[in-house]
Structure 1
């Protein structure tokens, strides 16, 4: 049974976020809440209905999240000499979090995910509001339209936050936006394809999340410290394997994660037909009988609990799950070996090491 499989041993014990993440998360959340409250007041004076998307964005921002991207940016910037009290640094951290908010809101809409962080996703919440207030037209269309606009609002605010950053930081931020957009397009097209190669699945993992979560935020942090050109290669050697490990862990949680921890339905990626590296490996390693089972169930949005469990059992039985855990371990080791080559303060080096451990062992 899955409970007896040692590949899932890491799921037995909750891994707490280290202080290096929690402290930055609290500061970013506080600043974002203050900013959005001010925006709510400013726009409500013009028209009370302007408050709708801003309220939705504010609720999303304070609903949780690890704020990994701001933390990776902060510890790189400060570890390379930036002033921790510089308002430009804080606004950049806020921008990275708002950009992530935009991506999550639109991702939930594209995936038709009803839940995010244990609460109704933005499009679901607006659709519910439509039904409760008996508004005209389609509740689904209203929910989808408002979610797009709330996501776009987060995107616009994110851009606004980096206005005063130096030119190199803004260039890197622009590249980050392109990479995550194109990576997401690969993910969407892959979900509708009849199959995918392992190389394509790896590229999706790298561009949809890997570079976006660790490498580019660290590059931006280095740029804010005027240390980008001196540190680019060293940052990449640390960040790329760690970013890949982050996404591979995410892929495992999308199939095997526990709902009370991930705050999403069990087996969400199986219902959505996500063509991840885990799925690609399982298809490559499975028997003909297992492939028949897989093809009959994978990507069905009405999968029952027992059908999800059958797919989980198949994936674990092929050895793909164990192979993924081994790959994550190898990527983490590569990243830790590269950490010593980064020119950082000792405090920042310790913080990034703690964050790396959390990224690969987290349960949500």
Structure 2
């Protein structure tokens, strides 16, 4: 794609329509990059051993199953809003690497959460556990399935690094922080679930570093860095952390009250896995009975939902989300970007915070 200099993103000359065309084109190039990359890897391993393609195929299936592509979208928007060149293949590589990292996290997350469904389909560890059992292979089916899923997730992690290595070197510092924060955040999430102690401060911290920074803040800054606009880092960080927290809180509400047919994953998983979300933390401060409803056998997610509604906490979380979106949008009000991109980031904040899946 060649972009006329008068409509170059970030110059202030582009219209909303041209902005969307450029963004959509880049997102399609990310899809093409992911597919071509995985296709080449499959062809390479097919020459080695027929079993070797199984892990690549499992990864390809999950990538092709859909997803919101939120991280690539924010990375691309950060770059374009900063005046980056849409013809630079480096931004496509960075965005594709972010999506591949996300796929790695999803696969590992499903093992950690013992989730049987992702994007409306069986999770990787479920598929391979069932394959092991149906074929009468040696060993324990569950252990095999989870082992394969860990390896497929690791493969995605390796591929994410290979993709981002083709991005501008300016993104590397942000990329390294993003990966370490995601892993540390996952650990804190697991530890908080095991302890199951009421600590809203910790719940917000987990939401921030496990989801908020990794989903919005750092992808945005990576995009701006690729465009050579380090001056936007502070505004994008404040925007990203606020909107990222709102994104995670919406995820918590969808888990508690959403429709699994729409979300593509089991409802009430945070209850069964004892995840100490801000929603649960606030509710347990008001109603001690909620702890026993979650931790003691014999209670259903429906009972927990009714009790949560009785506390009034879901409405408080909704108000908190609205405040976070407002805070995020205020953070970019004076940022040195064209109005059309400020409007787009405002729209993206609303879409992230008020999605239904």
Give the alignment's TM-score, normalised by structure 2.
0.90
Match of 1:284 in 2: 285
Out of 339, 345, 350, the residue aligned to residue 332 of structure 2 is 339
More relative contact order, 1 or 2 (CA 8 Å, 6+ apart): 1
User: More deviation in 230-239 or 276-285?
Assistant: 230-239
Instruction: Point out where structure 2 has 5 or more consecutive residues left out of the alignment.
Output: 1-19
Alpha-carbon shift at residue 23 of structure 1 (Å): 5.9
Q: Is contact 1:29–1:61 with CA below 8 Å preserved after alignment?
A: no
> Partners of 1:22 and 1:65 in 2: how far apart?
15
Equivalent positions of 1:287-306 (< 5 A) are 291-292=288-289, 294-299=290-295
Q: Alpha carbons of 1:24 and 1:324: their partners in 2 closer, same or farther (altered >3 Å)?
A: farther
CA distance in 2, matches of 1:308, 1:23: 42
Write out aligned runs for 1:1-364 (5 A). 25-228=27-230, 230-286=231-287, 291-292=288-289, 294-299=290-295, 307-364=300-357
Equivalent residues of 2:216, 2:240 under 8 A apart: yes
Measure, in 1, the Cα distance between the counterparts of 2:202 and 2:58: 35
Question: Could you tell me whether the CA contact under 8 Å between 2:212 and 2:247 is conserved in 1?
Answer: yes
2:6 maps to: none
| CA distance in structure 2 between the aligned counterparts of 1:23 and 1:322, rounded to whole angstroms | 38
Aligned twin of 2:15: none
C-alpha RMSD over aligned residues: 1.8
Q: How far off its partner does 1:299 sit? A: 4.4
Question: What secondary structure does 1:298 align onto?
Answer: helix
Distance of 1:347 and 1:102 partners within structure 2: 33
For structure 1, list consecutive stretches of 5 or more residues without a partner in the other structure: 1-18
User: How big is each residue's C-alpha offset from its partner over 1:199-257, in whole Å with a ceiling of 9 and x where there is no partner?
Assistant: 111111111101111110011111100111x1111112211110110111111111111
User: CA contact under 8 A between 1:190 and 1:196: conserved in structure 2?
Assistant: no
Alpha-carbon displacement from aligned partner over 1:11-50 (angstroms, at most 9, x marks no partner): xxxxxxxx68866554322321121111101111111111
Per-residue deviation, residues 120-147 of structure 1 (Å, max 9, x unmatched) = 1110111111122222211111101110
Question: Is the 1:25–1:66 Cα contact (8 Å) retained in structure 2?
Answer: no
Count of aligned residue pairs for this structure pair: 338
Q: 1:88 to 1:303 in 2, by over 3 A?
A: farther
SS state of the match for residue 87, structure 2?
coil
CA deviation after TM superposition for structure 1 residue 303, in Å: 6.6
Structure 2 SS opposite 1:213: helix
Q: Post-superposition shift, 1:275?
A: 0.2
8 Å Cα contact 2:196-2:276 kept in structure 1: no
